[in-house]
Structure 1
């Protein structure tokens, strides 16, 4: 066999092992899965020095190779960030079990009962760039929801991901769970092979750049959950509280500019533009934000001129484009034209205006008088998230546990046959919902 065939065969075997381990995990009790999650948290705490040292080595290599600033920000895993990730692990353990919930319990006829019950998806393939803490979130959510997971981190985070996976495996082994339920891939060739494993992998979740997500979508037959862009907007309405607007705009841009929920474009109603734009420029320039504006904006503040390309660019950096608009309708039209259906926000004291915005803007998250940065699984109380989905079909928005389970229909009878319910003397169904 060629090297490629050997690699493919090896990955197929690995995926088969993950599927087997996932089936065993799926039938464990809630308590057993929660114990495994606590064991993971303890193992991560014990391995913290090794994990931080591995990340420091990754960061040094990344700096030497000129990694882009937004990606470096995501790569860096300091002590505070690791502690936050471990706290997130324990938060997931406290969440209700999403597996085994009865959604429908219905008598079809006497002695013939239907149930719709939630169950794990199976095996997840999660491919992400730069963020090693994402590995911790995803692995924990997979364990809680009874799924196996095959993880592929970016090459810039290999050492970090390996150290984290070793700790997770140690925790799983201590809890009596097969470590094969969480697997780590390290090469680009393995990514391509993973996308071909539709027989063993049930869902692909890509987390990364626009081009990367589109590559995944174009190169697999496995269902893909994710978003290609994070072009988020904030619209400051003529009825906005200006101090509130400035605080929200600043938070939504400078808190974590490389996050997919930070704003890339600011829209300002023309009746307040002369008042709010100079104050906004001062606040944003204080955080070294580069501003680009349309013609009317540039007449009010001295900034660079925005091009048509700026409205459809996800900067993931301290850059913000600004447009002055004549109306709410124009703001909504701009967002629905250039937005990525991720998260959009309005600042206004007019409730009717807010309701119109919320109802007409097409996005997974639509916010009123708060920062787009709240679009996050942890902040929503999901414990963590495997990613954010901007597709119309559910799950949509930050995807936590509920997005990692599907359901199956269970029907139990006592010799019932369909012919009894068809023909001239057909017996009627009762279709009675049960407690």
Structure 2
């Protein structure tokens, strides 16, 4: 793409955003239903394209140019992925409108009211790898939240994402939503050009490996909502229940090892090494998990066959690092130093330990006696998610509709002559700052 074309795409997205702001939220919901119908009508063609992408990807895997993990993420027809993708559209459509809600309201003076009102961010540039269903997930969230989006999938899914984008456009064409509300691009060169256009693009959301996120963060002036590696941990505390420990450790690792919310490190309190750890290790090995152990956890297993530890590694497969630590505090320190601040879980019977862990671990998700795999927008009730943010500004954790809105302040004077600042001050009028109970802005109704 030339700079001129990149400029055209970004400008068109900004124009579509501005033109859509007076369209009622009911039409955005209608658009989602039309998109779902369009996708279903074009399913056969889309699945055929996906099969072609898979065939090409298998050749890349055989040549050592692509990982098995990436290949698994590419299949749109595996299990219930297609149906889940379509259900996600309906789930998003059924969620409350995230725009227009009031989070602060105050009467500054008689007949002078101030409201803080949720509103869309603007133009989103979303870059993701492999998973073609992300096109639909993000388009749904963008439309529902009133944002336009430019989407860039991985080259390994180009055939699939192209047809998904066409189906989305066909659905939008039957509504009042602008035709260029959702656009798709194909190459890294296009991304590089768009990252320079901060006058049009308001937020970049990269979904992929740490190198992708870092490269984008270092290559643009546009704000970036970072979603890097998911280096998640499960900590088995002293006195942990064996059944809970086995269930949480197993599910966190094997439910979907390639996911960013799968555990990569199992941390053991030293008091459980000869009690809880052996049955947990046995269950993991029986589930074909390769255990990379430190010396204490390795010695406790004797006849079992784990391997020496390899910490700070994002395995994304059936490999799990294991480390023994002397206390809850040392486990918290270890997680804060070695994790990617995505999601971490503690298995414990102590409310005090659970509280300390949840407050002390500096991650987007801190769980008690629950699998790290619960860290997901769909499971949280967000319908779907645009990604997972491990940053701390604006949005954190699975990012759904609420993470795709910002706010503006709206003020209205109802006084006959309006209000001016010059009337306030020492020996003049004083501000009232009286809270107003409001869930919406009266003059926007």
Query: TM-score higher than 0.5 here?
Result: yes
Structure 1 residue 311, shift from structure 2 partner: 2.1
- Corresponding residue number in structure 2 for 1:305: 308
Structure 1 residue 90, shift from structure 2 partner: 0.3
Paired with 2:157 and 2:131, the residues of 1 have a C-alpha distance of 7
How big is each residue's C-alpha offset from its partner over 1:57-107, in whole Å with a ceiling of 9 and x where there is no partner? Answer: 111101101120111111111162011000000000000001111222222
Structure 1 residue 42, shift from structure 2 partner: 1.0
- Corresponding residue number in structure 2 for 1:17: 12
What CA RMSD, in Å, does the superposition of the two structures yield over aligned residues?
Answer: 1.3
Paired with 1:27 and 1:64, the residues of 2 have a C-alpha distance of 49
Q: Is the 8 A contact 1:26 1:147 kept in 2?
A: no
- Corresponding residue number in structure 2 for 1:81: 81
1:108-123 to 2 correspondence within 5 Å?
Answer: 108-123=108-123
- Corresponding residue number in structure 2 for 1:367: 367
Identify the range of structure 1 (133-142 vs 295-304) with the bigger mean alpha-carbon deviation. Answer: 295-304
Structure 1 residue 278, shift from structure 2 partner: 2.8
- Corresponding residue number in structure 2 for 1:36: 31
Paired residue secondary structure (1:324): strand
Paired with 1:391 and 1:54, the residues of 2 have a C-alpha distance of 35
- Corresponding residue number in structure 2 for 1:181: 181
- Corresponding residue number in structure 1 for 2:163: 163
1:11-410 to 2 correspondence within 5 Å?
Answer: 11-66=6-61, 67-78=66-77, 80-301=80-301, 302-306=305-309, 310-410=310-410
How big is each residue's C-alpha offset from its partner over 1:82-140, in whole Å with a ceiling of 9 and x where there is no partner? Answer: 11000000000000001111222222112222111111100000000001111111000
Structure with a larger share of its residues in helix? 1
Runs of 5+ in structure 2 lacking a partner? 438-445
- Corresponding residue number in structure 2 for 1:416: 419
Paired with 2:307 and 2:115, the residues of 1 have a C-alpha distance of 61
Paired with 1:34 and 1:382, the residues of 2 have a C-alpha distance of 15
Paired with 1:86 and 1:361, the residues of 2 have a C-alpha distance of 35
Paired with 1:406 and 1:258, the residues of 2 have a C-alpha distance of 32
- Corresponding residue number in structure 2 for 1:3: none
Structure 1 residue 281, shift from structure 2 partner: 2.7
Q: Is the 8 A contact 2:269 2:327 kept in 1?
A: yes
- Corresponding residue number in structure 1 for 2:441: none
Structure 1 residue 249, shift from structure 2 partner: 0.8
Structure 1 residue 341, shift from structure 2 partner: 1.0
Structure 1 residue 219, shift from structure 2 partner: 0.4
Paired residue secondary structure (1:379): helix
Q: Is the 8 A contact 2:294 2:322 kept in 1?
A: yes
Q: How many residues align?
A: 426
Paired with 2:189 and 2:25, the residues of 1 have a C-alpha distance of 36
Paired with 1:354 and 1:115, the residues of 2 have a C-alpha distance of 38
Q: Is the 8 A contact 1:92 1:140 kept in 2?
A: yes
Structure 1 residue 46, shift from structure 2 partner: 1.1
- Corresponding residue number in structure 2 for 1:427: 429
- Corresponding residue number in structure 1 for 2:443: none
Structure 1 residue 31, shift from structure 2 partner: 1.1
Paired with 2:326 and 2:421, the residues of 1 have a C-alpha distance of 63
Q: TM-score, normalised by structure 1?
A: 0.95
Paired residue secondary structure (1:398): strand
Paired with 1:69 and 1:26, the residues of 2 have a C-alpha distance of 43
Identify the range of structure 1 (407-416 vs 209-218) with the bigger mean alpha-carbon deviation. Answer: 407-416
Q: Is the 8 A contact 1:114 1:409 kept in 2?
A: yes
Q: Is the 8 A contact 1:25 1:143 kept in 2?
A: no
Q: Is the 8 A contact 1:40 1:168 kept in 2?
A: yes
Structure 1 residue 224, shift from structure 2 partner: 0.4
Paired residue secondary structure (2:230): coil
Paired with 1:113 and 1:275, the residues of 2 have a C-alpha distance of 63
How big is each residue's C-alpha offset from its partner over 1:296-335, in whole Å with a ceiling of 9 and x where there is no partner? Answer: 11112332111xxx32221111110001122112211111
Q: Is the 8 A contact 2:234 2:267 kept in 1?
A: yes
